[in-house]
Amino acid sequence: MPTSIIPVITIDGPTASGKGTVAHRVADQLGFHYLDSGALYRLTALSALRRGTDLADEHALAKLAEHLQCSFQGGDIILSHENVTEAIRAEAVGNAASKIATFHAVRHALLGLQLGFRKAPGLVADGRDMGSVIFPHAALKVFLTASVAARAERRYKQLIAKGISANMDDLLKDLQARDERDTNRAVAPLVPPQGALVLDTSEINAEQAVAQVLAWYAAAK
């Protein structure tokens, strides 16, 4: 099947909006492949932190991104044969990923890797610029959003459930800072893609969000 006719569903949105959970479940329901594009930036950030790479060195970071050896296996994320599913979710890695995502060279280095996930029978891709930059002709574009308070509460519960201490005020400030950085960056800013359907998840659960996305996709076919 030519790549150009393989259906793609993009689900973009800010940190902790629920896009990862929704995208993964939609992919499972449809039997599609899944791309967590944010994980690619987190993998680059993790590699940089482990190697002691300067997070302001755009060229060095792009080289790391270009040579990432990673894969998504079920619910696990593998980096050079190591399961780093939990490691890349650390707050320090997330903050670093948000910073390096502002670099054009890093985004360009990851472009080909992201496009390579488009395989039959289809792909569900989540991130911040999937529908606006990477897959602008997707069959369905969804922009998930939620209030900062709702997103901070979700992140707090996730961290506590994993035995990681967390402070609600710090999480709120962190999310607000990330939103500011992601929305105002010069390269691929976080905005609803043209033609995207906006879904506010502040007051609905993951199952309801998945059902809505599936209904939109069925109507779009």
Tokens of 108: 């360009």
Instruction: Tell me if 134 sits within 8 A of 115, measured CB to CB.
Output: yes
Sign of CA dihedral 132, 6, 143, 108: negative
Instruction: Tell me if 194 sits within 8 A of 3, measured CB to CB.
Output: no
* HSE-up of residue 59 (Cα within 13 Å, Cβ side): 0
Can you tell me the distance from the alpha carbon of 106 to that of 100, in angstroms, rounded to the nearest whole number? 7
Residues annotated in a binding site for ATP:
13-21
Residues annotated in a binding site:
13-21
* HSE-up of residue 185 (Cα within 13 Å, Cβ side): 20
Can you tell me the distance from the alpha carbon of 199 to that of 13, in angstroms, rounded to the nearest whole number? 10
Task: Give 33's strand partners.
Answer: 123
What letter would DSSP give residue 35? Answer: E
